[in-house]
Every structure is written in C-alpha cells, then in structure tokens.
Amino acid sequence: MRIMVLGGGVVGVTTAYQLQKDGHDVVLLERNAEVADETSWGNAGMVAPGHSFVWSSPKAPMTLLKSLVLKDQALRFRLSADPRLYSWSWRFLMECTATKARRNTLLKHRLAAYSQAVLHEVLAGEDVAYDRNDRGILYFHRTQQALDAGVQNMKLLESDGQLIRVLDRAQVAALDPALAAAQDRIVGAIHCPTDETGDPALFTRALAAIVTRRGGEIRTGTTLTAIETSGNAVTRVLTDRGPLKADAYVLALGCGSAAVARTIGIDLPIYPIKGYSLTIPVGNRPLPPTIAAVDEHNLVAISRFGDRLRVTATAEFAGYDKSHKPADFAFMKRVTQELYPEGADYGRAQMWAGLRPMTPTNLPFFGRRRFGNLYLNTGHGHIGWTMSHGSARITADLIAGRTPAIPMDGLLA
Ligand SMILES: Cc1cc2nc3c(=O)[nH]c(=O)nc-3n(C[C@H](O)[C@H](O)[C@H](O)COP(=O)(O)OP(=O)(O)OC[C@H]3O[C@@H](n4cnc5c(N)ncnc54)[C@H](O)[C@@H]3O)c2cc1C
C-alpha cells in the first residue's frame, strides 16, 4: 500500500519507518525544512517508563488553582480568551480522580515499556547514533518525606514490572560523582536503571535518512492545508505544493493534529502545554553529569547528550505561542548550576521552547474515527519520545489488521 504519514516529528518518522518495514511504500509530509524541528527537537530526551505518571492526578486541580495566583510555579496556568482551553481543562479535570489517574498511569506505563522494547529492536537492526546513555535515570528528592512519598508512588509502576532502586545521598554521589558537590541538597533518589536517554532529534533525523535510503519519500517543506474526503474515506490531501494521494493516511501532526482533525469532523482534545529547554555545551568543564536526573522538587530534568547537557522545565498554558525570553530560563539554569557547578559551560546555553501535545488522559489517540483509511497516532504529551516507537509499531499493526503486541483495551478510542 502507499501510505502517507502527516507530520515529521518523532511520532511521524518512527511510524514511516515501521510501515516501510512492513513493506509499504511510504511518503511523509512535514512543513519544516527538516524533520524533528518542533517539539521533537528540544525535549529532555528521556526514554522513561519510570516517568509514566499522568499529570491528571488528584493533586492537579489544586496545583492549577495555585498557579493562577502564585508566580514562578513549575506549572503556569493563565486564563485566556481561547474557549478550547476551557473545554480541554474540563476534560482534564474529569480525569483527575484517583481511580482514573491509576488506570491512565498503568496504561501509559504499559505503552512506554513496550515502546522501549521496540526502540531496542530498532537499535539492534540499525546503525543510529544519537548520544544514547543507558545508565538509567535518577529521580531525586530533597526531603526524606518527599523521597518516602516518591517510593510509595513508585509501587504502582513496580507492580507493572518497573525496576527501581532506592539510593541515599552517598549512593547517589557514588553513582554520579558529578553530584557529589551538591550532596547536601539531596536526601536520596529513586534510580530507574532501565530508563535511558538520547537526543531525539538526532535519532529522528537518522531514522528519516534510513527511510529515504530505502526508497521512502520524506517531503519536507510541504504544508498540509486540507484533507478531502468522500463518504467514509479520505480521498486526497491538499498541500502548498499541490494535492497528494495515498491508499491510507496517518495523522501525526503533534499539536497541529486537533485543528486539522476538526476540519473533517473529528474531535481530538489535544492542547499545547509549553515547555522550555536549554542546550548547554559541556566545553572544558571537568564534572558533567554521567547519568540523567530529574530534580523532583523543582521539576527540572537534566540529560547528558555526549558533549552537551539538555535541561528542561515548566508546563505553561500559553496557547500556540512558542516565544521565549532569557528570564524564562533563569530558574532552571540556576538549579542546574547549583547541582553541577563544574558540569557545563553555562555561558553558552542555547534557549528553546516547544509545545507538548497533551490529551486529558495523557494517553495518545490510536486507530480510526469516521474514515476507514485514516489512522490516528497523535497526542503523546509529555513523554512522546518514550512512547513513539511502540506507538509506531501499534499503528503499523492496526493498518495491517494484526493484533498489536500489547492489549489495546483502554488505548483505542
Ligand atoms: C520541554 C519538553 C520536554 C520534554 N521531555 C521529554 C522527555 O524527556 N521524554 C519524552 O519521552 N518526551 C518528552 N517531551 C515530549 C515529546 O517531546 C513530545 O511528546 C513529542 O516530541 C511529540 O512528537 P510528535 O511527533 O507528536 O510532535 P512534533 O515533534 O511536534 O511533530 C509534529 C510535526 O508535524 C508538523 N506539522 C504540523 N502541522 C503541519 C502541517 N499542517 N503540515 C505539515 N506538517 C505539519 C510539525 O512541523 C512537526 O514537525 C518533552 C516535551 C517538551 C516540550
């Protein structure tokens, strides 16, 4: 079959790769000059089933409320004139019960763990260099009470097979000597030894090059402007470079998916939640982190990609605005510098902001709605790099009429 993947982020490109592996003729559309130039560019690069907890938890309503009045919160909720913000927020709040948070977290963990296994299969068969680090991720806490609560929370993921080790501050410093100078700020950490990191843009671009080498078409610089339908089928798509036809289509436009889906009568509650990142060269600094870490108190994530650090923070409701200013990065930079004073050349940090395609459940959309030849693979939220590989395989399986390798109850709309 000729299959057209709409969107060239990590979700679209991994989907094109898996479809090609199944023998399909693939064409991918991306509006930017390169793939992985939007949300898939500047994220923390954590492939982290250990970070599968949904944001729609019983604590979320109070956190949202507080962020309306308090400044400098890791979460910034602002009132806006956009009615979609309110309808999305209402649906998000409806997911915040303990029962739903538990169910959604377990579904997400199932998908994330499967996705990591698919990533490993890809790596076993392909030569993809993306500054991978497989030493796990440290989720560290600054008070004993918070560490104990973190360990308690983790029992949910442990019950689903997640490996964890609880470390005191000396063990943390032994695992990563780069944190030794900041030992007093940390009480201990949960180490998920099977979590890993790597640069998602390097990975996505390398995978796109493989798809192209094998005869697939990656059409960058091509903006999708409309989808034409007849009865229960998509007949063709319109782009700024003319109309294009395929036998089947995959919608993988990240934060662009909801608007396009609306034009053909599909309601996809995907709302952008902005995040910020710094990419900082290690330069000649002697003690860069050797293992990725999440400061659970400040909600700052730090990964090492070869000769660079990637630091991310903040969840902000700012519509589709991706602008940023130096003040947006001051806090995350200070936190990182305090933790790793000799870890990077902080004066040369590159600033970036991007939009997480969030759904109320924090789970992506799969499968078909209304149209027999249009498949969804979108809405991957805050751990889309983690979930992309498995989501791509699931989508390829659904298109082939095969049963996916993990149970899809609760994942198929
Ligand atoms: C600060 C931050 C930190 C994060 N950290 C992590 C992490 O550590 N681990 C993790 O797993 N995830 C993380 N994420 C989430 C992850 O980055 C996203 O879930 C993932 O990148 C989403 O991929 P995507 O392909 O769906 O979207 P995108 O990468 O945005 O791709 C969608 C593509 O569609 C294209 N497009 C849209 N509209 C059109 C159109 N009309 N025509 C043509 N092309 C179009 C866009 O240009 C874009 O390239 C983080 C996100 C942020 C913001």
CATH code assigned at 325: 3.50.50.60
Q: What is the pLDDT of residue 72?
A: 66
Residue 267 lies in a domain: yes
Q: Does the beta carbon of 273 lie inside 6 Å of ligand 1?
A: no
pLDDT in tens, 264-285: 999 999 999 999 999 999 999 9
- pLDDT for the residue numbered 51: 97
In a domain, 412, yes or no: no
The answer, yes or no, to whether any atom of ligand 1 lies below 6 A from the CB of 223, is: yes
User: What is the residue range of 304's domain?
Assistant: 2-400
Q: Please check whether residue 234 lies inside any domain of the structure.
A: yes
What does the block give as tokens for 128?
Answer: 């993809």
pLDDT of residue 65: 86
Q: What is the pLDDT, as a whole number, of residue 64?
A: 86
Instruction: Give pLDDT, residue 69.
Output: 80
> pTM for this one?
0.98
- Residues in the chain predicted with pLDDT less than 70, given as ranges, are 72-73, 413
Cβ–ligand 1 distance for 198 under 6 Å, the answer no
Residue whose Cα lies nearest atom 10 of ligand 1: it is: 383
Instruction: Using most ligand atoms within 8 A of CB, pick from 38, 132, 192, 320 the residue to mutate for ligand 1.
Output: 38
Residue 137 lies in a domain: yes
Rounded to a whole number of angstroms, the CA Rg of the chain reads 21
Non-local (6+) Cβ contacts of 155 within 8 A are none
So what's the pLDDT on residue 214?
98
Q: Average per-residue pLDDT in the chain?
A: 97
Among protein residues, the one whose CA lies closest to atom 51 of ligand 1? 43
Asked whether residue 409 is domain-assigned, the answer is no
pLDDT at position 139 is: 98
What's the structural domain count of the chain?
Answer: 1
Q: Which is the closest atom of ligand 1 to the Cα of 255?
A: 30
| Residue to substitute in 356, 389, 391, 395 for testing ligand 1 pocket (most ligand atoms within 8 angstroms of CB) | 356
- Position 405 in a domain: no
Flag whether 337 is in a domain: yes
- What is residue 67's predicted lDDT score, i.e. its pLDDT? 86
